[in-house]
Amino acid sequence: MHTNLLKWPLLLSVVVALCFSTAAYAQLTTYQLQDWLNSPAASSHVGDITGNAKAAALPYRRFCVGCHGELGDGNGENAVWFLTPLYAQPRNFQLAIFKCRSTPTGTLPTDQDLYDTIGRGMDRSNMPAWIPLSKQERADLVAWIKHYSPRWQTEKAGTPIQIPPEPEITPERVKAGQDVFARMQCFKCHGVQGKANGPSASTLTDDLSQPIAPFNFTDGSRPKCGSTDVDIYRIFMTGLDGTPMPSFADNIKPDEAWDLVFYLRSLQPHNAYNEKERQIANQLGLKPVNPNPAQ
């Protein structure tokens, strides 16, 4: 009788243990983590800074764990308060799918890409720009987050796309950029005026099936992966993995890509970068593209 009663808690504890072991399937054990921390893989290279994962164990706990979680799965204590589509969910480092990359779609980002994201933060999300952290600390964190996904052990970062130097802006280029916008049918999501109100905008979801909004060029938002001309070029050529935004690298030639950057700039309200673009678009009297030319 006594032994029979004892059986149940035992069985229960086995079941509980099994549950935990599957929940943490992508995680390294404490021993594996120690091994990894002492290996050359536990580092990052950003310019002439070498990041060291070991040094980031405490900063991660202090600054990142609240949202990204103990397991790096984006399920920190605060994650439940992130309401989509206004606020994206914290990144799940176990999957190692990142929006902001200089590398082709479907590849891992470079250390520099991750470092830039930490320093830049994400507009329209709860991810702040971590400029108060030193460059060394940010590089250390880049190294640290790599232990959350087995992908960093089996894959190399992609080869960054080649971006030719920015050409001189001309009215012809702004006009040609609008043609690219029409041909690629960017308006399907972003709308003919870049107001994020295209016919497909309302049903967009990210890879976790959460609703997500296309970028609105007209309301003064900053693009999530950077505001400079090169950043915008990179965004549509590499795509934002994990979101509906695809890569256009196969369909837009490098020279045309700069034309598109100039046109997109002209859609934005006046900011630090687009004085000339707006002037030219005004002079040209550009009208929004026709979404149904064949009709």
DSSP code at position 295? -
Q: Per-residue string for binding with other proteins, 150-189, x by CB under 8 A?
A: xx--xx---------------------------xxx--xx
195 binds other proteins (CB under 8 A): no
Nearer to other proteins, 119 or 150 (CB): 150
- H or E, element range at 242: none
> Residues 199-202: contacts with CB within 8 Å, 24+ apart?
199/291
27 binds other proteins (CB under 8 A): no
21 binds other proteins (CB under 8 A): no
Among 56, 88, 96, 213, binds other proteins (CB under 8 A): 96
Distance from C-alpha of 190 to C-alpha of 186, rounded to nearest angstrom: 6
Among 43, 50, 197, 200, binds other proteins (CB under 8 A): 200
Nearer to other proteins, 4 or 295 (CB): 295
DSSP code at position 251? T
Distances in Å between the Cα of 138 and the Cα atoms of 29, 88, 120 are 25, 22, 11
Residues in 229-248 at the binding interface with other proteins, rule: CB under 8 A? 239, 241-248
196 binds other proteins (CB under 8 A): no
First to last CA, the chain: 82
User: In angstroms, what is the minimal distance from the CB of 163 to other proteins?
Assistant: 18
User: In angstroms, what is the minimal distance from the CB of 275 to other proteins?
Assistant: 30
Nearer to other proteins, 128 or 211 (CB): 211
Distances in Å between the Cα of 109 and the Cα atoms of 94, 97, 100, 159, 160 are 14, 9, 8, 9, 8
| CA trace torsion 255, 257, 258, 262 (10° rounding) | 140
CB 282 within 8 A of CB 273: no
Listed residue (45, 47, 235) closest to 123, CA to CA: 235
294 binds other proteins (CB under 8 A): yes
Distance from C-alpha of 49 to C-alpha of 14, rounded to nearest angstrom: 46
Binding range to other proteins, per CB under 8 A, among 68-76, 126-134, 202-210, 254-262 = 202-210
Chain contacts with other proteins (rule: CB under 8 A): 26, 94-97, 105-107, 149-151, 154-155, 183-185, 188-189, 199-200, 203-205, 207, 239, 241-251, 292, 294-295
